[in-house]
Amino acid sequence: MENLKGKTAFITGGASGIGLAVAKACGKEGMNVVLADLRQSAIDEAMPIFLENNWPALGIELDITDRVAYEKAVDEAEAKFGNIHLLMNNAGLGGPNSPFWEISYAETDLSLDVNLTAVLTGIQIVVPRMLKHGEESHIVSTASKAALVAVPRNGMYNLTKQALVAMMETLAIDLEGTNIGSSVFCPGPFLTNFGANSNEIKAKTLGDERVKPPPPRMSANMDDYTNLQRPADEAGERVVRGVKRGDLYIFTHSEFKNSFEARVNAMLRAFPDETPNERFCEVFSFLLGTAAFDKQESVPALEGK
């Protein structure tokens, strides 16, 4: 979807952090932008940015776990701007910083509802509308570096974000032959208020004060930990570039390439050293690969990096 001007982007979690960064990048491209966010206060803070730059925008307070409200929000967006061309499933929660067996049922359900089920809801609501209007469109879902290599003591986050990779890969396969693209965005550390927002939402939703996760294990001081995180606006630039390129995978940090390669190599070593049955490969060809993977091209460095 190379030409974004005049098209409409619907972004969940769009009023802060990476969601807002993507919204601003879309605004710079001349898109109409819908900021769908759980927190009206964040919407109120974000909207002046769009007014000052004369970027068409609409703020909608939305709990993405409420399917009825989600559909009404999409109706409202279409009433304002017409067809939706970019769905950015960005809203999410940080997982409880605990092994699986220490996570409460309530926290389990909330993580699944927000990070996984609500993303699927967005696809179920918006993709049929994209197919109906027939114009070039794209769907992006925000996963995480944790989708590539699991983070210790971060079970629910690892689980839901890795599931998003499978979701968007499957969507790409199922949308072959249409003019709708599919991407999974796997960012590394960016400077956002994601942790604080997650704690606020958990406390409000679960009815008690959530314990803030401990700081990560670091070999450097806290200043380095903060300074080495990238500005959120860069994430927005990378997402928009990925959409325009038609990338299936939108990655941000080359620093994680070696650890991901180690994971893939471990999987390859786990296959039995046996000769494949050619007839099996013919009969079960639908299990063996997809053109969606072949379409992913090498990604150059972002300008200035």
Give me the pLDDT at residue 207, please.
74
Give me the pLDDT at residue 218, please.
53
**pLDDT exceeds cutoff 50 at 241:** yes
Close Cβ partners of 237 (under 8 Å, ≥ 6 residues apart): 21, 25, 302
**pLDDT exceeds cutoff 60 at 236:** yes
Provide the 3-class DSSP secondary structure of residue 228.
coil
**pLDDT exceeds cutoff 90 at 291:** no
**pLDDT exceeds cutoff 80 at 225:** no
* CA angle (269, 273, 277) in 5-degree steps: 125
Q: What is the band of 208 on the pLDDT scale with cuts at 50, 70, 90?
A: low
Phi-psi region of 17 (alpha: psi -120 to 50; beta: other; left: phi over 0): left
**pLDDT exceeds cutoff 80 at 37:** yes
Residue 265, phi then psi, degrees to nearest 5: -65, -35
List, for residues 63-98, the tens digit of each pLDDT value: 999 999 999 999 999 999 999 999 999 999 987 888
Residue 139, phi then psi, degrees to nearest 5: -125, 130
Average pLDDT of the residues in 185-213:
75
**pLDDT exceeds cutoff 60 at 215:** no
Q: What is the band of 209 on the pLDDT scale with cuts at 50, 70, 90?
A: very low
Q: How many CA atoms lie within 13 A of 82 on its CB side?
A: 10
Radius of gyration of the chain (CA): 20
Look up the CATH number of domain 8-294.
3.40.50.720
Q: What is the band of 192 on the pLDDT scale with cuts at 50, 70, 90?
A: confident
User: What is the residue extent of each domain of the chain?
Assistant: 8-294
Close Cβ partners of 178 (under 8 Å, ≥ 6 residues apart): 131
List, for residues 134-152, the tens digit of each pLDDT value: 999 999 999 999 999 999 9
What's the distance, CA 230 to chain centroid?
17
Mean residue pLDDT of the chain comes to 92
Q: 186, 304, 164: which is closest to 254 by C-alpha?
A: 186
First-last CA distance in the chain: 24
**pLDDT exceeds cutoff 70 at 61:** yes
**pLDDT exceeds cutoff 60 at 213:** no
Residues in the chain: 305
Average pLDDT of the residues in 113-126:
98
